[in-house]
Structure 1
Amino acid sequence: MINLLREGFVMPLGPNTETSLDTPDTPDPLDEEELSALDAHWRAANYLAVGQIYLMANPLLTEPLAPEHVKPRLLGHWGTSPGLNLVHTHLNRVVKARNLDAICVWGPGHGGPAVVANSWLEGSYTETYPDITRDTAGMARLFRQFSFPGGIPSHVAPETPGSIHEGGELGYSLSHAYGAAFDNPGLLVACVIGDGEAETGPLAASWHSNKFLDPVRDGAVLPILHLNGYKIANPTVLARIPEPELDSLLRGYGHEPLHVTGDDPHTVHQTMARAMDEALDRIAAFQHAARTEGAAERPRWPVIVLRTPKGWTGPAEVDGLPVEGTWRAHQVPLPAVRENPDHLRQLERWLRSYRPEELFDEHGSPREQVLACVPDGAHRLGANPHTNGGLLLRDLPVPSLERFAVPVDKPGATAHEPTRVLGDLLAQVMADTGERRDFRLVGPDETASNRLQAVYEASGKAWEAQVLSTDEHLERGGRVMEILSEHTCQGWLEGYLLTGRHGLFSCYEAFVHIVDSMANQHIKWLRVARRLPWRRPIASLNYLLTSHVWRQDNNGFSHQDPGFVDHVLNKSPEVVRVYYPPDANTLLCVSDHVLRSRDYVNVVVAGKQPCFDWLDLDAARAHCARGAGIWDWAGTETDLGEPDVVLACAGDVPTLEVLAAASLLRSHLPDLAVRVVNVVDIARLLPMEEHPHGMPDSEYDALFTPDKPVVFAYHGYPWLIHRLAYRRANHPHLHVRGYKEEGTTTTPFDMVVRNDLDRYRLVMDVIDRVPGLAVRAAALRQRMVDVRYRHHDWIRAHGADLPEVAEWTWSQ
């Protein structure tokens, strides 16, 4: 554990004490030499940021700037970059002075030029990309590659050393920062929050993360709220409200603000240095009190409020319009440099205003003064191993499944709640990682609702706020995380995984849509990171979606939506995986696989209600390894013949309905050859050219036949199956039943009837599609129609399902 305390520290002020960083009696924290060095580093970073946006040649202005030195397409964001450079410069100072283990999450990720510039200055960029040397030639490559074909993105992307957060979409920086800090007691995580990002709902909720941060077992998060006043074209809310109102807001969130305001570099450097020292002294005091003195009171952690002009040090005015300090500085302040000679002159004046000859030697390398504040080795922000979490990742100790599997003597003879069985496995994982503390379970207030409460035997729920005698399972330092914000849960887990740990996100199926866009961003991150040889694989992001569409009959239509899978399967095939285990033992096998996996986003959809046990553990393992297979015990085809029809299913309730339909067909049409196929890994339906788990055509045709009718009962929206299988030979014979937005508060079986997924409708589908059955089995079809009508009347009279449905069991 790194001790953040400095000699002679002062305990932090109380929560209601006004704090002033600038008083007549307060000495400047920086002497002239330190001030000059910090300013040199800041100017160098600013120069490099501007150069990346504009230049493709003449990086050190050794000749007059000409149009051909400027990129033909100007892309990037200047407005936030000088503020980010200031933060990076001052983080360098305190990390080096205090020997800190620190990383930074850059919320305004579109300020990529700043973070790349600082990585190049400190040398971590060249270590990662040896061709981008720290000299004139390397600087030229650095400039040219930015937002250029074949180069790097304009955001703080996976390609950027030291990054765990792209920031292309705003709202998630603070939750990522806390996720990184959990179970990292020696780590300081600084987090720059742009004032545009601060307007988002996810960011607003993530301020409450400090109620879950344990000062003993977790690291510290230092939020830095950067108010430069503007978004793309509008003012920002927090920059325009009175400072006392802003302070009240931040104090209400549980923070104590420290303000840094100004546009004079000398003053801002001194005030920023003082704020950093004060913030870190307070953090050190809180950790010391909790770790050595047993203090139990929740700390009021510091937050730095940094107010600097948008586009600071850039052009003050362009074409007669103000730029610096306005929204016009957001992206490219001088947009017509190649065509407009005045813009070209302004750009050259702007670049030379940083006095590059003082910052870089004759070879283009940063001068000693520029690097005076830069830490060494892994203490550099671009080289900290926590930002390349696979370097720190250990295998998760998943116990033997035999300890948790349910006995299955014959299919359908017993029933269990699959997620409750999984909860016992997760409890053991939680217990086995108790000392190493690298596994967390997150979810929005639903751990017990989703039948996973066995984990409380190994760890309580993290909680640092008030505790009442009626509360249960709350625990300081707990590793079960519950907050009624899916965004915050996702952000915590992403930050935790990206810094080298493991976890699982349990959520109601309908409401995981809240994080659709976050899942998209993480998938894109993984897709890029997998192609970077220096990025080591991290633990997969695992979703357990339960309380699903078919058993939300109590909550009703608002809780019925299985479409998250459709969203995920639109994404990079090399990253996404979707599983539909049909019973408890297959859920154990799937969970064992996803918890051990790397660099994937795994979606597991499983029920929490009692479900028939179809497969013993050995059969479940074999079935999950195949991903899709024939359940010969459920069908009526002979070993040497072909099926007349294939009944396929994916999902626990569709599996139940298919087996019930197969049982009806066995009884009423015993000569009909029925094949039952269950699909666990939905990507198996794709061609092998489209997904790593896809089947070759020969295997698909052997399983589903090239020309027989296939009636497919699917958990989600039926058109997804058509989309996955549209290139297969038998697609014209494929008929899919699934959820079609028919829901309400009703009985469990009525949900499947409303969506034509029920066993009686499936039997009718078989009769309608197998040649010759329409006439031969007309009476049976009529009976199936009649049962559905009787069901309709029965549930309205009795409030429960038909006895033959509620009491149905599998028998051969």
Structure 2
Amino acid sequence: MKMITDITKNENAPLTDDCLTKLDAYWRAANYLSVGQLYLCDNPLLDEPLKMEHIKKMQLGHWGTTPGQNFIYTHLNRLINRYELNMLYISGPGHGGPAVVAGTYLEGTYSEIYPEVSQDKAGMKKLFKQFSFPGGISSHASPQTPGSMHEGGELGYSLSHAFGAVLDNPDLIVACVVGDGEAETGPLATAWHSNKFLNPLTDGAVLPILHLNGYKISNPTVLARLPHDELEQLFQGYGYSPIFVEGSDPEFMHQAMAAALEQAIHYLKQIKYNAAEHPGMERPKWPMVILRSPKGWTGPKIVDGKQIEGTFRSHQIPLTVSSASGNHLQMLESWLKSYRPGELFDVNGRLKKEIAEIAPKGNRRMGANPHANGGLLLKELRLPDFQQYAVNVPASGVAGEGDVHVSGRFLRDVISLNPQNFRVFGPDETVSNKLEAVFEVTNRQWNADVDSNDEYLAATGRVMEMLSEHQCEGWLEGYLLTGRHGLFNCYEAFIHIVDSMFNQHAKWLKMTSEIPWRRKIASLNILLTSTVWRQDHNGFTHQDPGFIDHVINKKSEIVRVYLPPDSNCLLSVMDHCLRSSHYVNVVVAGKHPSPQWLNMKNAVDHCTRGIGIWDWASNDLDCDPDVVMACCGDIPTLETLASVSILREHLPNLKIRVINVVDLLKLEKQSGHPHGLSDHDFDSLFTTNKPVIFAFHGYPWLIHRLTYNRTNNNNIHVRGYKEEGTITTSFDMTVLNEMDRFHLTIDVIDRVATLGSKGTYLKQKLMDKLVEHKQFICAYGEDMPEIKNWRWEV
């Protein structure tokens, strides 16, 4: 990007001696607190010689990244004060907790939230003891840490979270520290491209700070071993203007870092100015800082004859202290005293006033920024009346245009009503997933080149698409964590790519729900479509319904799974999910034309219950059923009702109860999930002794797992996906997995002993139908007319 003014002529002078002295003292104080967290349970100010009883029995944590992050945090404080910035800090390197805890403690935020960890000697002792200690806090920037909206327990997501956080936050700057080990992960490597989507006028800014300290756990990092020119060209190619800070001498590094951040902030201000004054300019080259410093900087240089600082050996605990470790206790004491704590803290353990001035005040402190506690900023969505989008269902079984297609119109108007508070995220699938109605009111946000044949691309848009499930999930998480709302739509088979990201977010929700000062955020809503049963043109690679198995492993207070059978039910479910908070809602729905079963009133009633008998399809009103036909999912519902129609035509005396499940976790026991049915209610639906034929959207054993301790469990026979698939017809997918209407009907015949010869003859006829089906599709490449044209007419 061509700058309107020459930023190199702006104030960029080195630090004054006084400022340099204070910055270095603040950094030393943060390093001292960090080492204390790793080792000490007593004697926090070294008022007496260090003894073994002052040392933790278990020394757990990570030192290697910590001094570099303390250095960055200190200098960002200065920058915030100088320019009155609204800045959020994201710690990407794994287990950088000591630095973030030290930073928030020094600025006062930590003690405000946890008064027992006071800014004095007693509070410092508690600060030290609690770290990586039973009943204490984690070794990374966990939800317990003020200012954290990104947990460093797993690497790779920091930069996506940062960019998600600044969407629709034009005055927010996120300083995102990226570890060079973290930079080798797939999600992080992808996330550098987020700068092609940022709108400098309507969004905030991300300042990536790539921290090159050279090593991972026991190996060198790739980026740290690149020659300077190659590294610079790499990030220029990504679309950044890298600013390098390299060295180990503290005085030099302080001056260099201050100058680099001054330059970066002027770049950011210039980009914002240009966007406002010169719309339509080419995509800016956003600044980033590349900080190269020794791993374990300022720590022990050599221990037991091996180099520590500047090597992988400083990654975790660089110096093990025990009664059998020789002079390590004295080495630790020397290390702690090298920070000269007497110059930093008064006799009561308070940071000296002249040093404390480095910290910003109030909500400008990074630990107090409200964006890191997004529930504080959360505003309810304005939602249209979903019932106004209802599909007309004069009779069960009428043809439909595609359930997700119908919900697209609802989402279109959600976007219109919430132009700065709601976004749709997806990996290049919004049109493919039949949500194209949203493009009637918005575009895909895109800040790279646009060709004449492109569609729906603009500098401002409410749809975020990039062909990376990691990126979309990370953007959305960052957006939600800072107090907004959104939806992630994805092909069902490929949502597994974010299994681990979902894990981390679910853990975050679980932990924050137990922290009083944390406020609830909007739910993570995931819409899965292009499902296993309608991947006939893509084949086996696109067929996997197992994400829901993964989801239900998480805490029952957090996860919800819905499988609406038709358009009106999907509308009801979507409205419910968008109104909810602090859940992960997974909704599985089809996008292809399919029968519609319930009018809107009945759909609302059914979805509110989550499970129920469809009396219009059943014939057991005045007696006990002979068999229960249960279904969960759109295609299982279709095949179940087709089976019921066969049974009622050929075996009219058979008493059938049809049960449809929308809320999957209704099948759990009430003691296992808040939505679960009591044993009494479950038994009243499924009986205590009748055969249950259950057609399920996913893997059959999930239903067995959910119902294993119910009274009638031994009589529940489940049909679902069993890893059979190919490029074939829609109906043949169900046949290959034996979840089709013919197999379901045969299951009933095999399990109801009273059917006699009528059942035997019908079973043979159905087996012949399966042969006929296979012959027909091989000859004509499509399903038999009786399958394609089937309608519910019982």
TM-score (norm 1): 0.96
Deviation digits for residues 662-711 of structure 1 (CA, Å, limit 9, x no counterpart) = 11111011111100000001011110111111111001001111111000
1:720 and 2:714 aligned: no
The 2-side partners of 1:11 and 1:381 are apart by 30
1:113 corresponds in structure 2 to: 98
1:781 corresponds in structure 2 to: 763
The 2-side partners of 1:493 and 1:251 are apart by 26
2:82 corresponds in structure 1 to: 97
The answer on whether the counterparts of 2:12 and 2:263 sit within 8 Å (CA) in structure 1 is no
1:35 corresponds in structure 2 to: 20
Q: Give how far 1:634 is off.
A: 0.6
Q: Give how far 1:42 is off.
A: 0.4
The 1-side partners of 2:99 and 2:154 are apart by 18
1:771 corresponds in structure 2 to: 753
Q: Give how far 1:776 is off.
A: 4.4
The 2-side partners of 1:237 and 1:625 are apart by 53
1:224 and 2:218 aligned: no
State the AA in 2 paired with 1:79: G
1:625 and 2:619 aligned: no
1:570 and 2:553 aligned: yes
Q: Give how far 1:284 is off.
A: 0.2
Q: 1:774/1:762 Cα in 2 relative to 1: closer, same or farther (>3 Å)?
A: farther
The answer on whether the counterparts of 2:4 and 2:274 sit within 8 Å (CA) in structure 1 is no
1:552 corresponds in structure 2 to: 535
1:537 corresponds in structure 2 to: 520
The 1-side partners of 2:732 and 2:649 are apart by 23
Q: 1:147/1:133 Cα in 2 relative to 1: closer, same or farther (>3 Å)?
A: same
1:5 corresponds in structure 2 to: none
2:593 corresponds in structure 1 to: 610
The one of 635, 638, 656 equivalent to 2:638 is 656
Q: Give how far 1:770 is off.
A: 1.3
Q: Give how far 1:105 is off.
A: 1.1
The 2-side partners of 1:362 and 1:784 are apart by 88
The answer on whether the counterparts of 1:79 and 1:330 sit within 8 Å (CA) in structure 2 is yes
The 1-side partners of 2:280 and 2:349 are apart by 52
The answer on whether the counterparts of 1:255 and 1:301 sit within 8 Å (CA) in structure 2 is yes
Q: Secondary structure at the match of 1:244?
A: helix
The one of 415, 438, 449 equivalent to 2:432 is 449
2:253 corresponds in structure 1 to: 268
1:153 and 2:147 aligned: no
Q: Give how far 1:636 is off.
A: 1.5
Q: Secondary structure at the match of 2:354?
A: coil
Q: Give how far 1:621 is off.
A: 0.8
Q: Secondary structure at the match of 1:440?
A: strand
- Can you give the 5+ residue segments of structure 2 that lack an aligned partner in the other structure? none
The 1-side partners of 2:755 and 2:296 are apart by 75
The one of 667, 680, 683 equivalent to 2:665 is 683
The answer on whether the counterparts of 1:648 and 1:679 sit within 8 Å (CA) in structure 2 is yes
1:83 and 2:77 aligned: no
1:464 and 2:447 aligned: yes
Q: Give how far 1:218 is off.
A: 0.2
1:69 and 2:54 aligned: yes
Q: Give how far 1:340 is off.
A: 1.9
1:211 and 2:193 aligned: no
2:579 corresponds in structure 1 to: 596
The one of 710, 724, 727 equivalent to 1:742 is 724
The answer on whether the counterparts of 2:387 and 2:571 sit within 8 Å (CA) in structure 1 is no
Q: Give how far 1:295 is off.
A: 4.6
The answer on whether the counterparts of 1:688 and 1:694 sit within 8 Å (CA) in structure 2 is yes
The 2-side partners of 1:34 and 1:404 are apart by 62
1:361-376 correspondence to structure 2 within 5 Å: 361-376=346-361
The answer on whether the counterparts of 2:108 and 2:119 sit within 8 Å (CA) in structure 1 is yes
Q: 1:633/1:27 Cα in 2 relative to 1: closer, same or farther (>3 Å)?
A: closer
The 2-side partners of 1:574 and 1:377 are apart by 34
The answer on whether the counterparts of 1:542 and 1:594 sit within 8 Å (CA) in structure 2 is yes
State the AA in 2 paired with 1:620: A
2:623 corresponds in structure 1 to: 641
Q: Give how far 1:415 is off.
A: 1.6
Q: Secondary structure at the match of 1:223?
A: strand
Q: Secondary structure at the match of 1:604?
A: strand
State the AA in 2 paired with 1:296: M
The 2-side partners of 1:548 and 1:79 are apart by 45
The one of 394, 400, 412 equivalent to 1:409 is 394
Q: 1:783/1:113 Cα in 2 relative to 1: closer, same or farther (>3 Å)?
A: same
Q: Give how far 1:336 is off.
A: 3.2
1:388 corresponds in structure 2 to: 373
The answer on whether the counterparts of 1:77 and 1:330 sit within 8 Å (CA) in structure 2 is yes
The one of 680, 689, 700 equivalent to 1:698 is 680
The 2-side partners of 1:613 and 1:689 are apart by 34
The answer on whether the counterparts of 1:411 and 1:615 sit within 8 Å (CA) in structure 2 is yes
1:669 and 2:654 aligned: no
The 1-side partners of 2:730 and 2:110 are apart by 57
Q: Secondary structure at the match of 2:717?
A: strand
Q: Secondary structure at the match of 1:428?
A: helix
1:426 corresponds in structure 2 to: 411
Q: Give how far 1:554 is off.
A: 0.6
1:141 corresponds in structure 2 to: 126
State the AA in 1 paired with 2:39: Y
Q: Give how far 1:371 is off.
A: 1.2
Q: Secondary structure at the match of 2:290?
A: strand
The 1-side partners of 2:280 and 2:612 are apart by 58
1:191 and 2:176 aligned: yes
Q: Secondary structure at the match of 2:87?
A: strand
The answer on whether the counterparts of 2:563 and 2:634 sit within 8 Å (CA) in structure 1 is yes
Q: Percent identity?
A: 58
1:3 corresponds in structure 2 to: none
State the AA in 1 paired with 2:101: V
- Can you give the 5+ residue segments of structure 1 that lack an aligned partner in the other structure? 1-8, 14-18
Q: Give how far 1:403 is off.
A: 1.7
Q: Give how far 1:297 is off.
A: 1.3
The answer on whether the counterparts of 1:416 and 1:613 sit within 8 Å (CA) in structure 2 is no
1:313 and 2:307 aligned: no
1:290 and 2:272 aligned: no
Q: Give how far 1:27 is off.
A: 7.1
The answer on whether the counterparts of 1:108 and 1:197 sit within 8 Å (CA) in structure 2 is yes
The answer on whether the counterparts of 2:399 and 2:593 sit within 8 Å (CA) in structure 1 is no
1:762 and 2:744 aligned: yes
- Runs (4+) of structure 1 exceeding 4 A deviation are none
The 2-side partners of 1:464 and 1:520 are apart by 31
1:797 and 2:779 aligned: yes
Q: Secondary structure at the match of 1:468?
A: coil
The 2-side partners of 1:486 and 1:230 are apart by 28
1:6 corresponds in structure 2 to: none
The 2-side partners of 1:234 and 1:109 are apart by 15
The answer on whether the counterparts of 1:109 and 1:165 sit within 8 Å (CA) in structure 2 is no
State the AA in 2 paired with 1:740: K
Q: Give how far 1:29 is off.
A: 2.3
Q: Give how far 1:372 is off.
A: 1.6
The one of 732, 740, 744 equivalent to 2:714 is 732
The 2-side partners of 1:465 and 1:774 are apart by 70
State the AA in 1 paired with 2:307: P
1:360 and 2:345 aligned: yes
Deviation digits for residues 70-90 of structure 1 (CA, Å, limit 9, x no counterpart) = 111111000000000011001
The 2-side partners of 1:774 and 1:572 are apart by 47
Q: Secondary structure at the match of 1:777?
A: helix
TM-score (norm 2): 0.99
Q: Secondary structure at the match of 1:647?
A: strand
Q: Secondary structure at the match of 1:495?
A: helix
